[in-house]
Structure 1
Amino acid sequence: MTALHPTLERAHALIEFGRHDQALALLGRHLAEDPGDIRAWVKLSYCHLHADEPEKAMEAADEALRLAPEDYGALLLRAQAMVRNGGWLDVEPVLREAVRVAPEESYARAMLADAVWRVSLVRYARETGGGGKISFSDTERVTREAADLAMEALRLGPEDIYAHEIAQRIASTSGNSTVSDQLDEAILRIDPTHSAALARQTEKAAQAPGVGAGRAAELYADALAGQPDHPFMQQQLDRATYRLLRGTRWLALLCLVLAGGMINLFPSDDQPAPELPLPIGQRLWSMVIMAVIWGFGAWRRYRKLRAGVQLNVRSLIRRGRWARVVLAQSGWAMLCAVLIAGPPWTDLPVPRLLFWAGIVPIAATILFDKKKAR
């Protein structure tokens, strides 16, 4: 292996520390003295690419390719610079040349699969006029070459995250959920903190049949422990937490109906109203039942939640206006239930008014905020 020029070694060290501007200046001076140094042009292209200057990165890569048309590094950087400059639809020839030059490399093949996948879908949309939604069967047919390239990239680089990402994306758009899930699991085995795969797997588990709001919130909280700044999972955790808070409102409604049923607010010929006022023992018993409903339905459930979910419950109440509205409605409905069941009422108009006062605010918003919980 040929030793690098000392200037290139210093530039490489600067690149390793992320000092791309200093490396650019050093490489520029070196190339002014030795414009035929291929490796210097490749490193210059790399620096421009990471400085978010894709056009200059392409120019440097082109200079390297002019000196060595089959240089794999220069070809790959040319392709990456084209992509960064919005050239996914034109990059395929460069990537095919990179694959020809280095057929054992997985990254170039995975990138080619990505490009072919995008081009195939765009071409199909243009041919069909771009109207309507493409079916899974058509997607699988149109992207078959891309899928084959991705599988070959996986064979060449079984630990290559990018190859797994492209294969998963192709499988997902083709409706192959089984393969998509397997690839996500493989990604997470390689990188347990991979944000996209973690989000997909967490969402799948949280939306599985029979998974309640509490369990869904715990799943998202666990995922956020590894990715604390992930906006999607924080949003999903907030939604699951909001569903938990909405559950307290149903408990309040249950207590309200229980109080109304105890006093029989709406008597009929078959079920006449009881003699008022109700005995104190019966009124106290109804209060005990309501306390049990809240103790097991809300407090005990809250205490069983993990610490992260409990913290998010309090955080969402501070941050979310509708979370506070739901809690206020729950509290108001419970107050109305207590006022119906507790005092020794001698007639029905006032407790009946309290019943409607407790139920109407919830009924007015329950359908609207159900959409927010979704």
Structure 2
Amino acid sequence: MVRRRPQRGHVRQRGRRLRRPGGLSQEEAQAVTTVDTVVERAHALIDLKRYDEAAALLGQHLAGQPDHLRGWTALARCHFNARRYKEALDAADTALRLDPENRQALMLRGRSLRHVGGRFEEAEETLRALVRLSPDDWYGYTILADLLCRMRLVRHGQANGGRIDPAAVKDLLREPADIAGEAIRLAPEEVHAYEVAWMIADLAGERAVADTLDRSILRLAPDHPEALARQAKRAAQAPGVKPARAADLYAEALAAAPDDAGLRRDLDRATYRLLRGVRWLALICVAAAGVMLDLFAVEGEEQRELPVSLGQRLWALVPMAALWAFGAWRRYRRLRTGVRLNVWSLVRRGRWARVVLAQAAWAVLCALLISQVPWSERTVPQVLFWAGIAPTLATVWFDRRKSG
């Protein structure tokens, strides 16, 4: 899930500067500027994910100024982003001893606690304190709603031997959903608030609510990869959607989220369904060739005289060509470029995709042999007929599951 975190200034209190009645001296002003520069350099290193360098810089700074609040909150942020949650918790606790109402320290402490031995109760108490301290801060509501959702599901699963009762989940998640709704009310343009609300709605089985939240996310962030993937899957899996349309939907979503492995698998499945359709066109050609030669006797009807004339044999190519032109080639040309490229990519990568194309080519070859050779007897054409149809029909249901 992509999260847009607020800027540091949104949740971090500035360090307090003590002024004498006559103002700061030049030396004191220079010292304050140096301290702020060190912390800002550390934050810049954290943004670059150079966590070890940032921790070393802050550690050296705090060794000389152990009571610097901004230094401790910056160190807590550094350790948290580096997933060193125990160290992040220790730094946040030190910051809270200096200022018990520091909002960034409370936020970092609450988020770290859930990763340190699953101390959910302490994390909940800390985040509720954060919300009480900053009732207009949307971010505090989002992380509290996220915590409560996960905590209550874990407790419910533990109490039921690892099983989740869908009927009870909606009641369990009612309060987290309300808290997430409050975050959206406070910050209707923040994507992360909608993301948390979507997660809760999805876990609660509220599909309509989750779909509405997805549309809100895409309104704010049109290239949001997870929301695009969910919308594409929902549209592609709707009843009556053809394989070509499904493949186009997945390719469109992949253009915005090229690294999404799930979307790529879905595109492969839709592409395979397209290839299976080509195989059916080949079977129709075999059937048409069999009808032209009147291969199988029907009681009460006289079979066509063999050999068939050259004109009739050449005319048999017309419906076959039309079938392939409108049923395969025209459809292929109307696909998105990404889908067309994926067709050949899947053929190179997938064994069953190659099998499908080989079966289609074999069936067409059998159809051409049946229809274009001037047979004087029906024995060989009948063998070719069953040779063209039987291998495909033998696998058509077996490989159906491979198309999703």
TM-score (norm 2): 0.87
2:393 is equivalent to residue 368 of structure 1: no
User: 13, 33, 36: which one pairs with 2:67?
Assistant: 36
- Compute the displacement of 1:81 (Å): 2.3
Residue deviations 1:119-154, cap 9 Å, x none? 2223333344444x523x432222111111111111
Aligned to 1:167: 197
2: CA distance, partners of 1:130 / 1:18: 37
Distance in structure 2 (CA, Å) of the matches to 1:93 and 1:368: 56
SS of structure 2 residue aligned to 1:331: helix
Say if 1:336 and 1:357, in contact at 8 Å, map to a contact too.
yes
How many percent identity over aligned positions? Answer: 51
Matched, 1:246 2:241: no
Alignment of 1:146-161 (within 5 A): 146-161=176-191
Q: Is residue 72 from structure 1 mapped to residue 103 from structure 2 by the alignment? A: yes
Aligned position for 1:121: 153
8 Å contact kept, 2:113–2:120: no
* Distance in 2 separating the partners of 1:239 and 1:322: 11
Partner of 1:189: 219
**How far, CA to CA, are the matches of 1:308 and 1:27 in structure 2?**
48
Q: Residue 118 of structure 2 is aligned with which of 70, 83, 87? A: 87
- Contact 1:109/1:153 (<8 A) preserved: yes
CA drift at 1:88: 7.2
- Give the one of 18, 39, 50 matched to 1:19: 50
The 8 Å contact of residues 88 and 118 in structure 1, kept in 2 or not, is answered as no
**C-alpha offsets along residues 154-209 of structure 1, whole Å, 9 cap, x if unaligned?**
11121222221111122122232221111101111111221111110111111222
In 1, distance between residues paired with 2:315 and 2:299? 26
Deviations 1:279-329 (A, max 9, x none): 222221212111110111001111111211111111111111111111001
Corresponding residue to 2:304 among 274, 285, 296: 274
Looking at structure 1, the residues matched to 119 and 231 of structure 2 have their Cα atoms a distance apart, in angstroms, of 28
Q: Does 1:306 align with 2:341?
A: no
Cα distance change on mapping 1:339 and 1:88 into 2, 3 Å: farther
Partner residue, 1:176: 206
Structure 1 alignment gaps of length 5 or more: none
Q: Which deviates more from structure 2 when the two are superposed, residues 259-268 or residues 197-206?
A: 259-268
CA distance in 1, matches of 2:391, 2:101: 73
Secondary structure of 1:159's aligned partner:
coil
Whole-angstrom CA distance in 2 between matches of 1:220 and 1:124: 36
Q: In the superposition, relative to structure 1, how do residues 169 and 10 fare at CA in structure 2: closer, same or farther (>3 Å)?
A: closer
Question: What is the identity, as a one-letter code, of the residue corresponding to 1:125?
Answer: G
Q: Does 1:51 align with 2:82?
A: yes
Q: Pick from 95, 104, 107: which aligns with 2:136?
A: 104
The normalised TM-score by structure 1 is 0.94
Q: State how many pairs are aligned.
A: 372
Unpaired runs of at least 5, structure 2:
1-13, 18-31
Matched-pair contact (CA < 8 Å) for 1:89–1:118: no
Alignment-derived partner of residue 230 in structure 2: 200
AA matched with 1:147: A
Q: CA deviation at 1:12?
A: 2.9
Q: Secondary structure at the match of 1:368?
A: coil
Mapped to 1, the partners of 2:117 and 2:346 lie a distance apart of 39
